[in-house]
A = this chain, B = another copy of it.
Amino acid sequence: MLEKVRVIQYGCGKMGRVFLRYLYEKGAEIVGAIDMNPDVVGKDVGEVAGLGCKLNVPVRSDAENVFAQCDAHVCVIATRSLLSEVYDAFELAARYGVNAISTCEESFYPWNTSPALTNKLDKLAKDNNCTLAGSGYQDVFWGNLITSIAGATHHITKIEGSSSYNVEEYGIALAEVHGAGLSPEEFEEKIAKNDSLPSYMWNTNQWLCSQLGWSIKSMNQKLIPLFHDKDVYSETLGKTIKAGNALGMSAVVTTVTNQGPILETQCIGKVYPEGEVDTNLWTIYGEPNTTLKIEKPDTVELTCATIVNRIPQLIMAPAGYYTTEKMPPARYLTYPMNVYVDDFWR
């Protein structure tokens, strides 16, 4: 389409700042910005994003008014990790008929972890002719890279995946969900025992099964705290994690499908001791076996770029809560994002 894509940035924290710059550099018009952190509320988005120029759009905490006072195509939600926590933001966008895409890890595939909320949003989005979805790092690195290799495989018996990331790179929300800083007892109580807490790999396994056309026979997850033998300082927590307390955790999710293949995926999120780096390692077993390794992925940039690159597809997707395993893979934007929005979609 010829007009620029108009975007509201919902959440102007660590990720939000990167989103604002990527959106601006890919030719979006920033028409609104929302946050409730007093440190950013009132600031100009150009300043928040470090653009070097003002855009004369202030970060505001009165979310409803922001939606009421502009006509946005898209809202990017980067606030929290659970669907229940981003529900209000999605609901607001849907009520105003604004397409929305979120970094919320559960929102990547929330159909089974939060079916009632997802279906309410799906209905509301359809009533208001807009699309809601979740995306981020997992969309490409736990998602389409794996199904691309599946597309080169004759017979799959098992998919094994392991991904690690430094929770220091994200906000406090993520650090807390990973139990960073907790004692073994606190971890057991607050994290391990809490079955209702979906791990990111849980949603990812379901995304993979959905894209591969598999139905799920059984699933289980084990949350394992990860320790270190020395004290490690966490900037995000603003304190030192004592040796013997959790730096974070590994969530191992095992999915058995009715079609045969098993998924065993592991997500390691913790405050890194010195020297450790991110790795993303996946193996498809069967005929043949194939192992993919990504060395030191820049997960923040990759997350923000994937979501920004998905905006044209989000706009063109059918109305409803439309998870990304049903969309084409995210596509690099050489040109301003509006160029990639075909006019036939309306």
C-alpha spacing A309/B213, complex, angstroms: 14
Per the CB 8 Å criterion, the residue count for chain A at the interface is: 49
0 or 1 for each of A329-341: is its CB under 8 Å from B? (1 = yes): 1111011000000
Q: Is A156 an interface residue (CB 8 A)?
A: yes
Contacts of A308 in B (CB 8 A): 154
Q: Which of A239-262 contact B (CB under 8 A)?
A: 259
C-alpha spacing A304/B288, complex, angstroms: 11
Q: Are B148 and A144 in contact (CB under 8 A)?
A: yes
Contacts of A309 in B (CB 8 A): 151-153
Cβ-defined partner of A156 (8 Å) among B295, B332, B335: B332
Q: What residue of chain B has the Cβ atom nearest to residue A153's Cβ?
A: B305
Contacts of A156 in B (CB 8 A): 332
0 or 1 for each of A270-295: is its CB under 8 Å from B? (1 = yes): 00000000000000000111111111
Q: Are A335 and B152 in contact (CB under 8 A)?
A: no
User: Known: A140-B148, A291-B294, A294-B290. Is A301-B154 also a contact (CB below 8 A)?
Assistant: yes
Q: Are A151 and B329 in contact (CB under 8 A)?
A: yes
C-alpha spacing A328/B25, complex, angstroms: 27
How many copies of the chain does the oligomer comprise? 2
Residues of A at the B interface (CB closer than 8 Å) are: 22, 25-26, 137, 139-141, 144-145, 147-156, 212-214, 259, 287-298, 301-302, 304-306, 308-309, 328-332, 334-335
Q: Are B147 and A329 in contact (CB under 8 A)?
A: yes
Q: What residue of chain B has the Cβ atom nearest to residue A261's Cβ?
A: B334
Q: Are A329 and B332 in contact (CB under 8 A)?
A: no
Q: What residue of chain B has the Cβ atom nearest to residue A307's Cβ?
A: B152
Q: Are B147 and A332 in contact (CB under 8 A)?
A: yes
User: Known: A22-B154, A291-B294. Is A140-B149 also a contact (CB below 8 A)?
Assistant: yes
Q: Are B147 and A145 in contact (CB under 8 A)?
A: no
Q: Are B212 and A332 in contact (CB under 8 A)?
A: yes
Interchain nearest-CB distance for A181 vs B (Å)? 28
Cβ-defined partner of A152 (8 Å) among B141, B149, B328: B141
User: Known: A304-B154, A334-B213. Is A298-B293 also a contact (CB below 8 A)?
Assistant: no
Cβ-defined partner of A334 (8 Å) among B214, B301, B305, B331: B214
Contacts of A335 in B (CB 8 A): 213
Cβ-defined partner of A295 (8 Å) among B287, B291, B296, B301: B291
Interchain nearest-CB distance for A262 vs B (Å)? 14
Cβ-defined partner of A292 (8 Å) among B155, B294, B298: B294
Interchain nearest-CB distance for A9 vs B (Å)? 16
C-alpha spacing A151/B144, complex, angstroms: 10
Q: Are A148 and B148 in contact (CB under 8 A)?
A: yes
Q: Are A295 and B293 in contact (CB under 8 A)?
A: yes
C-alpha spacing A190/B155, complex, angstroms: 40
Extra inter-chain contacts (6) besides given A137-B152, A292-B292, CB under 8 Å: A144-B329, A145-B292, A150-B331, A151-B331, A152-B306, A293-B293
Q: What residue of chain B has the Cβ atom nearest to residue A332's Cβ?
A: B150
